[in-house]
Chain A
Amino acid sequence: MTLGTFIIVSVIKIVIALFVLLTGVAYTVWLERKLVGRIQNRWGPTRVGPFGLLQPLADGAKFLFKEDITPPHVYKPLYIAAPMIAMIFAVTSMAVIPIGDWVTVAGVHTPLQITDVNIGLLIILGITSIGVYGIALAGWASNSKYSLLGGLRATAQMISYEVALGLSLVGVLILSGTFSLRGIVDAQAGTWWGWLPKWNFFQGQFVAFFVYLMAAFAETNRVPFDLPEAETELVAGYHTEYSAMKFAMFFMAEYANMFTVACLASLLFLGGWHGPLFGPTWLQEILPVFWFALRVFAFIFLYIWIRGTLPRFRYDQLMKFGWKVLLPLAVANLVITGLVVALRA
């Protein structure tokens, strides 16, 4: 592939990925409002378009045209940079996430992934760990007590759960022997006895899967771990002082992060895009993407479901759960996986 085609192909992929991601984010918000509404025996949005389907567009327009208030007491450079940092890093992790197998479009054979690096997982972990700065700096730059407390809570929570999250992934790494996300998915191809897929989940990583799931909830600040924005105590947490598009950026970043962790969960534990393939060639090329999207959707659904069901943790419970339950579980899983792999070798 020449440099020219490489750049063109990459730009196309980036544009598509961004478009899909942002649309996905917008409609996840719609889905959330609809589902939580149904759970609470309400209708959710119904007025804008059929089933309220145009609601995200209306929301977007509202955010764009609202007055952008910058309170006088904030530290401006960081106040403005913080939502950008949060948004940028939330979107960047999409760059290494594969969403399907190789395809040939217009004579160009290319993977369905913006770039395949051999330390993909490390990069995602690194990007999410830096993403904390958006929230932490927003809390500090806002120069208000609610924001600061929200920012501190978010930072403490994300650092604590990052440990369990990272450790829960090591078991998968041991099994597949690579950091490349594509490699990890490839290692999960095939089935046992013709029906049980060789997903890492079934290869004994179910404990790791649950640890990952919990930690992912905490990492994305979702219920039941949404203490950084607990409205009963902190008004709106780190984004108390933000309005209009800056607020929308935090909002989008949170949902984009949800997508990232959902994609990771599908790729690492549930076999990525593997699933039954049938039909003509064009269908066989598209089906993996469909299977992958289905898994991601299932996780998003789970997120919303839990949001509608569970109450919030208390802060000390949150810390205790992270350090005294999830971390030991993740370590135990790691030790046992290592032992099994060593004995099998």
Chain B
Amino acid sequence: MNPVATPFFFYFLSAMALISGVLVITRKNPVHSAIALIFTLLSLAGLYLMLYAPFVAGVQIILYAGGIMVLFLFVIMLVSVSRVERESQFNKQWLVGIAATAALGVLFILVYAKGKSVFPERTVQLPEQLNTQQVAVWLYGTYMLPFEIASLLLLVAIVGAVVMAKKRI
């Protein structure tokens, strides 16, 4: 079956990602920020799905929204929120922020204006393949060495976390 209402879903998910992204950095209560971040991550997962990357979407939900953010929330919930809310942010950098945003905006407009000829008119109709299996084939084929080495990286990080955090090893 062909996908229906793609533009609607694209704009809906993008808008949700952007709005909740803005909420993440503007809310004072850290729990609210965390919840907004969860929405950002979920809408990104939706966007991945629209790009026919179901595995990436699934992993995004399971690991980021369902794993890491739960841990974040877990830690934040233990922090006394009322104190955090009273404290003011000590590094107000409105000027720098506005300058950076303006520069980025100009860049986007430039890319949009100049890129019209470079980017294709219509989005390419991606084939709905066995995307998940393809990911696995690449990971355990060509990219085997970096993939396996990454597990060593994780091992080092785990050992490090234990060494740094545990009272008595």
Contact = CB atoms under 8 A, between A and B. Distances in A.
A162 B67 CA distance: 9
B130 A118 contact: yes
Contact of A136 (B54, B59, B70): B70
Interface in A114-133: 117-119, 122-123, 125-130, 132-133
B132 interface: yes
Interface in B64-99: 65-67, 70-71, 73-74, 77-78
B24 interface: no
Contacts of B130: 118
Contacts of A136: 70, 73-74, 77
Contacts of A128: 66
B66 A155 contact: no
B55 A119 contact: yes
Given A125-B62, A155-B73, A140 B31 contact: yes
B58 A122 contact: yes
A162 B68 CA distance: 13
A125 to B, nearest CB: 5
Given A118-B130, A119-B54, A119-B55, A129 B61 contact: yes
B110 interface: no
B154 interface: no
Contact of A126 (B38, B66, B70, B71): B66
A3 interface: yes
B149 interface: no
Interface string A2-36: 01001000000000000000000000000000000
Given A129-B67, A159-B70, A151 B62 contact: no
Question: What band does the interface of chain A fall in when counting residues whose beta carbon is under 8 Å from B?
Answer: 20 to 34
B56 to A, nearest CB: 10
Contacts of A148: 77
A156 interface: yes
B58 A133 contact: no
B165 interface: no
Contact of B77 (A6, A118, A151): A151
A78 B35 CA distance: 10
B58 A126 contact: yes
Q: Is the interface of A mostly helix, strand, loop or mixed?
A: helix
A271 interface: no
Nearest to A139: B77
B31 to A, nearest CB: 6
Contacts of B78: 152
A137 B35 CA distance: 10
A301 interface: no
A155 B72 CA distance: 11
Contacts of A129: 61-62, 65-67, 70
Which of B61, B62, B130 is packed against the most chain A CB atoms within 10 Å? B62
Given A118-B54, A140-B31, A130 B77 contact: no
B26 to A, nearest CB: 17
B4 interface: yes
Nearest to A143: B81
Interface of B: 1, 4, 31, 35, 38, 42, 54-55, 58-59, 61-62, 65-67, 70-71, 73-74, 77-78, 130, 132
27 contacts: A1-B1, A3-B1, A3-B4, A78-B35, A117-B54, A118-B130, A119-B132, A122-B59, A125-B58, A126-B61, A126-B62, A126-B65, A126-B66, A128-B66, A129-B61, A129-B66, A129-B70, A130-B42, A130-B61, A132-B66, A136-B77, A137-B73, A140-B73, A151-B77, A152-B77, A155-B74, A179-B132
Given A127-B61, A140-B31, 16 more contacts: A1-B1, A3-B1, A118-B54, A119-B54, A122-B62, A129-B61, A129-B66, A130-B61, A130-B66, A132-B70, A136-B73, A136-B77, A152-B74, A159-B67, A159-B70, A162-B66
Closest 8 CB pairs of A and B: A129-B66, A122-B58, A126-B61, A119-B54, A126-B62, A140-B77, A130-B66, A155-B74
